[in-house]
Structure formats: structure tokens, C-alpha cells
Amino acid sequence: MEQIAFVFSGQGAQYSGMGKELYECSAAARAVFDTADRIRRGTSEQCFTASKEELSVTINTQPCLYCVDLAAARALEERGVHPATAAGFSLGEIAALTFTGALDDETGFSLVCERAKYMQAAAEKTDGGMAAVLKLKNEEVEALCAPFEHVYPVNYNSPGQLVVAGEKEELAEFSAAAAQKGGRVVPLAVSGGFHSPFMDEAAQQLSRYLQAIPFEKPRIPLYANATAKPYPADGRSLAAEQVNHPVLWQDTVEQMLSDGIEIFIEVGAGKTLSGLVKKISRMATVLHVEDKKSLQETLAALQK
């Protein structure tokens, strides 16, 4: 049987109504939202009815996307689909930690709420933003970042796509320099400069929080953003470090492919990771689950 990986989507993929069909068609998915509502009242209603603007505020984005990610994975598991490995992009790594048993459901959701709070507070202290740079090599983007004091390469997404974080005024200057080199710069709909030194305080707060909660070794290999390698038995430090360190997504997918993964199923809102995996490997089979239709289509594809 072909080896399957679940990949959990990250921030930026949010949209109004996400998760509602999963809630309605899967008892396992519904349980995820019910747990969230017990801890943070109104989370499911926010997923299902809030505007994109409300959902794009970090303290709302992260708990809501976490629920949709985990609900999609649980809906697949409920129907007999069990991955050999997993990975999550940024926020998605917290949902992946819960799915793989490193955290229980209540602890995982409480953690994502704390993470969102710390990251929003850190973001509000600086005028930061993020942008995807297309059509340039990683080395070229890194060289363009070097002259700026507060512009950093942060998300190594796929060949020809590297996201940078920076102070907005410097980011505008960087964008002009990148365009002159032939790059295309696309601003991201996020509220801060994540995965950069702007998040150092948030990472420190998260590290302290993680030390006080139970944390188990994932039951299947879970590839960490910060290393592109599976989590160790105690991965608390990695879970904190991913907040202020680059996301090595391309390296992660390439390592999973090298380890025998043939099918990638993106679980959660949108198809951003599906697109990235396709750019990294033309040989991989890429599926996704975010609603009833995509769940049915993925199950049908797996039975062929």
C-alpha cells in the first residue's frame, strides 16, 4: 500500500464558513469543535459565520484554523485512513502535534490559544508584515535581505518561492529591490512578521508555557518545521522554536519523499500546501480535505 502523509495547513488559508460541512458530516470532526467551544466559547460559530476580516486577526485565526485542520484529519481517520507520517505548516504543526498524540485534545487547543495570544502581542509591538517572493532563487532572496536590518527570509516554501518577514517600511524597499532583480513580490494577509526575530518574545513565552504541560512522543513520525526532521521524544523546544525560526517546508517535503511517502493529503482550509507539494515533486499524489465534497473525493481517490 502506498505511504500516506497528512499535511496540516497554516495561517493565511482562513475563510468564512470553513469547517461547517465537516462538523455536519463527521462525528469525529464535530468532537473537535465541541472541545474547542468548551475551552473558548464561540470558536465553532466563528469558523462558520465570521467575516474573513475577523478570522484574519491572529487570536482568532489560529484557534479556528487549528480546529478545521484537526477536524479534517479526524474525519479521514474516522473513515479508516491512517497516515504513516505527518507535518504541519507553522500553525498546522500544533494541530499535527495533537493528531499524532504528542498533545491531548484539550491541551492542544489550549496551547494554540496561548500561541495566538503571544504572537499577536509580539506582532502589535512592531509594524511588521510578510511577503512571498517568486521567480528568484533562495540565494538571491537571501542576498537581497542582507542589507536590511529588519528583513528576514523565513518560509522556504518550494522552488522559486521564499517568504520574507520584515518591518513594513524596509519591506517596501526590499520589494522594490526584488522586483528590479526580476522577482515577483506578493504581500501576505497576516498581521505580523512571523517566524522571525520579531517573534522572539512570543517564543520565550511559549517555551515557558510548554514546560508546564504534558508532552508525549508523537505516535508516528512528525516532521518539525524548524529542522525538517521528525520530532524527538520530548519536542517542547521545537514547538516553541518554530515561532521565531524559518519554516523549512521544501526540505520537509523532500525528506518525507525520501522516506517513502507517495501520497500527501492536505487537511484543513484551502489548498496552499497542495500547490507547494506539487511544485516540489511532480511524482507525488496530492489530495486535500476541507469539506464534505473534498472528503468524499479523497476517499474515492484512495480506493482506486
| Digit-coded pLDDT (tens) for 177-235 | 999 999 999 998 788 899 999 999 999 999 999 999 999 999 999 999 999 999 998 99
Q: How far apart are CA 182 and CA 135, in angstroms?
A: 7
- Number of Cβ within 10 Å of residue 301's Cβ equals 12
pLDDT of residue 124: 93
Which residues participate in catalysis according to the annotation?
A: 90, 195
pLDDT of residue 203: 97
| pLDDT band with cut points at 50, 70 and 90 for residue 304 | confident
1: pLDDT strictly greater than 70: no
pLDDT of residue 279: 96
pLDDT of residue 125: 93
120: pLDDT strictly greater than 70: yes
pLDDT of residue 19: 98
Answer yes or no: are the C-beta atoms of 85 and 261 closer than 8 Å: yes
Calculate what percentage of the chain has a pLDDT beyond 90.
94
255: pLDDT strictly greater than 80: yes
281: pLDDT strictly greater than 80: yes
DSSP calls for the chain: --EEEEEE--TT---TTTTHHHHHH-HHHHHHHHHHHHHSTTHHHHHHH--HHHHTSHHHHHHHHHHHHHHHHHHHHHTT---SEEEE-THHHHHHHHHTTSS-HHHHHHHHHHHHHHHHHHHHTS-EEEEEEESS-HHHHHHHHTT-TTEEEEEEEETTEEEEEEEHHHHHHHHHHHHHTT-EEEE-S-SS-TTSGGGHHHHHHHHHHHHTS-----SS-EE-TTTSSB--S--HHHHHHTTTS-B-HHHHHHHHHHTTEEEEEEESSSSHHHHHHHHH-SSSEEEEESSHHHHHHHHHHHH-
**Left (φ > 0), alpha (ψ -120 to 50) or beta: where does 286 sit?**
beta
| pLDDT band with cut points at 50, 70 and 90 for residue 133 | very high
Give tens-digit pLDDT for 183-196: 999 998 788 899 99
Calculate what percentage of the chain has a pLDDT beyond 70.
100
> Which residues sit opposite 247 in a β-bridge?
155
Q: How far apart are CA 223 and CA 238, in angstroms?
A: 10
Q: How far apart are CA 36 and CA 85, in angstroms?
A: 25
Q: How far apart are CA 131 and CA 207, in angstroms?
A: 27
pTM listed for this prediction: 0.96
Nearest to 272 by CA among 168, 161, 140: 161
Q: How far apart are CA 97 and CA 95, in angstroms?
A: 5
pLDDT of residue 190: 81
The region of weakest confidence among 12-16, 20-24, 103-107 is 12-16
Sequence-ordered list of residues with C-beta below 8 angstroms from that of 100, at least 6 positions apart, any chain: 86, 218, 219, 220, 222
Q: What is the largest CA-CA distance in the chain?
A: 53
| pLDDT band with cut points at 50, 70 and 90 for residue 92 | very high
